[in-house]
Amino acid sequence: MKIIQVVNVRFFNATAWYGLYLSKLLLEAGHEVLILGLQDTESFEKARSWDLPISPMDLNTQTPLGVIRLYRDLGKVIDTFSPDIVNCHRGESFILWGLLRKHKGTFKLVRTRGDQRLPKANIFNQILHRHVADAVISTNTRMSNHFKSRFHLGPERLFQVIGGVDKARFTYCPQGRARIRREFGYDDQDLVIGLLGRFDLVKGQKQTIEAVAKARKMLGDASPIRLMLLGFETDTSEAQVRQWIRDNHIEDITVITGKRSDVTDCISALDLGVVSSLWSETIARAALEIMACTIPLVGTTVGVMPDLLQPHALVPPGDVDALAACFVRCASEPAFLALLRREQAQTMSHLSGQDFLHQTLDIYKSMLDQHPPHNRTTISGT
């Protein structure tokens, strides 16, 4: 199969990761893939570092002349590459792909919705999602339900693919756990809580710090809680994060790892993971990586998290008291941690990279089998 992945995302965020990781999986499975991206951006450079076939295009242009040129250039790409599928991961330029789909009729058009914003159900979006796109892929139930109720998309057009994780890379490592715990001075009695993610308001580092401080007070002098912040500064500076730590008087139990090449070992060193995001998490990469390493996880009720965790492992976003109570329960009830681990192992049983690949391929193939493009006589690949 010949597939174009349109990953016009400036930063290497979860949306970009989803599109690039899918491209990598498709290539490894023997399909021919071309990625279109934005030159001189984090996501573009990440694709290059992964040795993925990516070409630069001004996909987010908004000037009249720029749009005309982009439409011409996209047409040339279609004529040259001759894709079976075009999968757009952002909305910019999607209407141009729709026009080319109607004009050329040589490919099927997929719109993956992995961003946090629910699309407005106006006439323009109704046309794009109900008539222009051959399929809409949602990455979480909240988005899927929105498309069902507001766009009236049926199962023949609407699909849900949460994603997946490379289980060969993200797997529990006892040797790595021991090494990292020695590095940071943890002993077997410590309950190490870890938040994996860049320093940003959305990730909830401040709320996690406050919840850890509250939980420590609730547990008293014998509190086993320790906090590991697996991240580095982006929109929020490390200095700000350290100030929050000082303000809550938990400097003695908190470490900041900074950027690490041994992320799997650091995850393995945890006793509990937390996703404390205030919003977003429509594609929860960090959650999948933590769960793949068989570390129990708790989180907030945002994005895809209710698809991954049971209600007793979830708290409202920004609710420091509820998060602190959850930490106390995890520190006090070993059986609760064991329950989380069992439940999440079941969830992860169908969220590997290969699951991600095959779920997506099934969608692509169903479109081609049911309604082959009218100008194509053969379908390349398998």
Query: Alpha-carbon distance 136 to 123, whole Å?
Result: 17
Q: Domain check: are 319 and 244 in the same one?
A: yes
Q: Domain check: are 49 and 102 in the same one?
A: yes
Q: 225-230 and 135-138: which strand pairing? A: unpaired
Q: Domain check: are 179 and 46 in the same one?
A: no
Q: Domain check: are 363 and 268 in the same one?
A: no
Q: Domain check: are 186 and 226 in the same one?
A: yes
Look at residues 170, 171, 162 and name the one whose alpha carbon lies nearest to residue 139.
162
Predicted confidence pLDDT, tens digits, the chain (382 residues): 999 999 999 999 999 999 999 999 999 999 999 999 999 999 999 999 999 999 999 999 999 999 999 999 999 999 999 999 999 999 999 999 999 999 999 999 999 999 888 999 999 999 999 999 999 999 999 999 999 999 999 999 999 999 999 999 999 999 999 999 999 999 999 999 999 999 999 999 999 999 999 999 999 988 999 999 999 999 999 999 999 999 999 999 999 999 999 999 999 999 999 999 999 899 999 999 999 999 999 999 999 999 999 999 999 999 999 999 999 999 999 999 999 999 999 999 999 999 999 999 999 999 999 766 654 433 233 3
* Parent domain of 309: 174-348
> Would 98 be classed as within a structural domain?
yes
Q: Domain check: are 212 and 144 in the same one?
A: no
What CATH number is associated with residue 272?
Answer: 3.40.50.2000
Domain count within the chain? 2
